Amino acid sequence: MAPIWLLGQTQQSISEVWQSDQGDGTYVNPILHADYSDPDVVRVGEDYYMTASSFNCIPGLPILHSKDLVNWQLVNHALPKQVPLDVFDMPQHANGVWAPCIRFHEGMYYIFYPDPDFGIYMIKTNDPNTNWSEPQLIKSGKGLIDPAPLWDEDGKAYLAYAFAGSRAGIKSMLMVCAMSPDATRTVENDVLVFDGHEKQPTIEGPKFYKRNGYYYLFAPAGGVSTGWQLVLRSKNVLGPYEEKIVMEQGATPINGPHQGAWVDTITGEDWFIHFQDKGAYGRVVHLQPMKWKNDWPIIGKDQGNGIGVPVLGYKKPNVGKMYPKVTPPDSDGFDTTSLELQWQWHANPKLYWGFPTSNGYFRLFCQAIPEGVTNLWDVPNLLLQKWPSETFTATTKVAFRAHEDGEKAGFLIMGRSYAYLEVKQEKDELYVSQVICDNADLKGIETVGKSYKVKSNELYLRIVVNKGGKCLFSFSEDGKTFKNVGEGFVAREGKWIGAKIGYFAQRKGITNNAGYLDIDWIRFTP
């Protein structure tokens, strides 16, 4: 049976604001202009499955599917709630699911993911579109990150991983240990196989492969936004490993091109998927051609020195067939019996935060502000999705039905600093205003702009996002004439995630009958 958040899913729609597929046999990068950080991909037959880091956002571990490596559909989340439950019932910014690895072995799909505070977990399934197993901690320890398994031809299994200096107190090294073939436990015989301190600082994120008798570790080095792609190889699984830089930024605008997945096609082509850190936009996903020379890969366009640079566009992979355009969802009519897959909460959700209705709304209830919280940074009931493009207009139709003065709802751009359109009841009247909070992660205080009294509780709220993350806010009572509200706002990223857009509903104090926001639809347009 499909997980509950899949029930009632509507037919796949095509984004109006970002399509990589150009319709002429070519594509442009990024293939996903959205924050799918630390992407990893596996091919099984003609199908490709991708997962990515999700940190504190729930449901986590997104599962995307593609037939051609360019057009991707969001089909599932492998992690409906994050463990330990008592920890992740409140926001844990920058914690939770770090760089995962997805693999297929003997009929089973596996995801290995690290939680830097607890260790390395494994989940599995025989169908990535449905339920995954409960997380199993197969290697405990603070600061163990970026796991990648390898099943060898002799039946033995291994796990590569790295260290997070913030937890372990050491970094810039890659390790390998033995693992049981069923991936349920590791053996404590860990070996340092590569030390990057001298030439490859901040090496991390290994992906483990074998080809032509060589063991390969593909690993990023040099830092998230400033680094390059390194490849290590050895005839022995435990090394020593040779090293070679195989992709760098060069003269291109694609900074830090690294951390991702080598995949092939059924026609024998090789490709590499990686991310680029774009600040408020998060880590967007690129696709690079790849070729082998003297048993070393070259990723992107060869500069003539055996080191590639990223391409901005290219001919689509030859997968033997042509497939239609698909994209992850962004617009939503909220007319299904469950939340569509683009929506995530900032912590493990509670039923009473909100749920679908039978008449085509998502109802979000005003929750009490948690004790000791100064702004939205530590509020768990934020319903948000990733930004889908560099520029877009997001318009939503809502109805706010407050039960008491002081209750409010917001249409929100969330990050380390945030801003939102507030709809609030005061003296039995409704008012719209812009609220800005600078440095929310450092306990910044919200400032409320000029308020505009509205006659109806049914409103159209709009946020326009321009290049550089510049946001403009407006509202309308008829859906035709919009009034600008407040000042411009430049979005900021969150902790290891991009800025997000969505909703919240809030009140001071607990009640037995809270007001609510009925969300009718949200539409993303150019």
Summarised one tens digit per residue, pLDDT across range 127-164 is 999 999 999 999 999 999 999 999 999 999 999 999 99
Q: How confident is the model at residue 101 (pLDDT cuts 50, 70, 90)?
A: very high
Q: How confident is the model at residue 276 (pLDDT cuts 50, 70, 90)?
A: very high
Per the CB < 8 A criterion, the answer to whether 369 and 505 are in contact is no
Helix (H) or strand (E) holding 86: helix 85-88
pLDDT digits (tens, 9 = 90+) for 479-518: 999 999 999 999 999 999 999 999 999 999 999 999 999 9
Handedness of CA 444, 450, 455, 456 (dihedral sign): negative
Q: What is the pLDDT of residue 67?
A: 98
For residue 496, CA distances in Å to 92, 224, 380, 388 come to: 11, 10, 17, 17
Average pLDDT rounded to a whole number, residues 260-273: 98
Fold of the domain spanning 343-525: Jelly Rolls (2.60.120)
Domain boundaries, the chain: 36-246, 343-525
Do the two domains 36-246 and 343-525 of this chain adopt the same fold? no
For residue 270, CA distances in Å to 131, 287, 318 come to: 30, 11, 10
CA atoms within 13 A on the CB side of 511: 18
Catalytic status, residue 38? yes
Catalytic status, residue 477? no
Per the CB < 8 A criterion, the answer to whether 444 and 375 are in contact is yes
Angle (CA) 433-438-444 rounded to 5° is: 105
Per the CB < 8 A criterion, the answer to whether 174 and 217 are in contact is yes
Q: Which residue has the tokens 């019996």?
A: 337
- Please state, in angstroms and rounded to a whole number, the distance separating the CA atoms of residues 219 and 401: 52
- The residue from 40, 68, 204, 422 that is catalytic is 204
pLDDT higher than 50, residue 413: yes
Average pLDDT rounded to a whole number, residues 2-13: 45
pLDDT higher than 60, residue 3: no
Q: What is the pLDDT of residue 11?
A: 52
Q: What is the pLDDT of residue 10?
A: 42
Q: What is the pLDDT of residue 13?
A: 79
Q: Which residue has the tokens 């859906």?
A: 479
Average pLDDT rounded to a whole number, residues 407-430: 98
Sort 193 into a burial class: Cβ within 10 Å, 0-12 / 13-18 / 19+.
buried
Angle (CA) 139-145-151 rounded to 5° is: 65
Q: How confident is the model at residue 396 (pLDDT cuts 50, 70, 90)?
A: very high
Long-range contacts, stretch 469-476, CB < 8 angstroms, 24+ apart: 469/279, 469/280, 469/281, 469/499, 471/413, 471/419, 473/419, 473/420, 473/421, 473/434, 475/421, 475/432
- The backbone region for 482, taken as left when phi is positive above 0, alpha when psi lies in -120 to 50, beta otherwise, is beta
Residue type, 20: S
- The residue from 21, 35, 38, 422 that is catalytic is 38
Average pLDDT rounded to a whole number, residues 109-130: 98
- Please state, in angstroms and rounded to a whole number, the distance separating the CA atoms of residues 457 and 44: 50
pLDDT digits (tens, 9 = 90+) for 44-96: 999 999 999 999 999 999 999 999 999 999 999 999 999 999 999 999 999 99
Question: Which tokens sit at 5?
Answer: 């958040």
Q: What is the pLDDT of residue 157?
A: 98
pLDDT digits (tens, 9 = 90+) for 293-344: 999 999 999 999 999 999 999 999 999 999 999 999 999 999 999 999 999 9
The chain-wide mean pLDDT, for the chain, equals 96
pLDDT digits (tens, 9 = 90+) for 426-474: 999 999 999 999 999 999 999 999 999 999 999 999 999 999 999 999 9
pLDDT higher than 80, residue 9: no
pLDDT digits (tens, 9 = 90+) for 183-234: 999 999 999 999 999 999 999 999 999 999 999 999 999 999 999 999 999 9
How many other C-beta atoms can be found within 10 angstroms of the C-beta atom of residue 318? 13
Question: pTM here?
Answer: 0.96
CA distance from start to end of the chain: 37
Into which CATH architecture does domain 36-246 fall?
Answer: 5 Propeller (2.115)
